Amino acid sequence: MKIVTELVAKGFVDGARCKGGGLRLARASSEIGLGNVVRQLEPSLALVECFGTQSHCLLDPACRLKGALDGALQAFLAALDRVSLADLVGSDARLHEALGLQAAARAIAPITIVRPPAGRERR
């Protein structure tokens, strides 16, 4: 559940540890951008060692690959910046069907994740 702790700490979800508790989005899904989530949750976006400040690569001063990889990383993040959580889960009937959500339940119930009772494992 480490990811849940991080999502709560970064303000993406609110968590309650009481009876009937669980998780819910801290703000509207349309306000949660994937680029922001990746930037906040990934400890490092350094694709290769030379992206960091402690590079030991002898080729670093003349390397052209470093620039190409940085461009690819920036393009990747820019693509994620154009996508919100709402874009991924919005009103996609196929996704709701795959998750076993019913139309009436989607309209009124927030998504809640709860832990199984102690001693019982999820399958």
- Give 98-112 pLDDT, tens digit per residue: 777 765 444 444 554
C-alpha 61/C-alpha 57 separation (Å) is: 9
- The span from the first CA to the last CA of the chain, in angstroms, equals 16
pLDDT band at 119 (very low <50, low <70, confident <90, very high): low
- CA proximity to 51, closest of 59, 60, 43: 60
CATH dotted code for 2-108: 1.10.10.10
Question: pLDDT of 41-87, one tens digit each?
Answer: 998 888 888 887 788 888 888 889 988 999 999 999 999 999 999 88
Q: Tell me the whole-structure pTM to 2 decimals.
A: 0.66
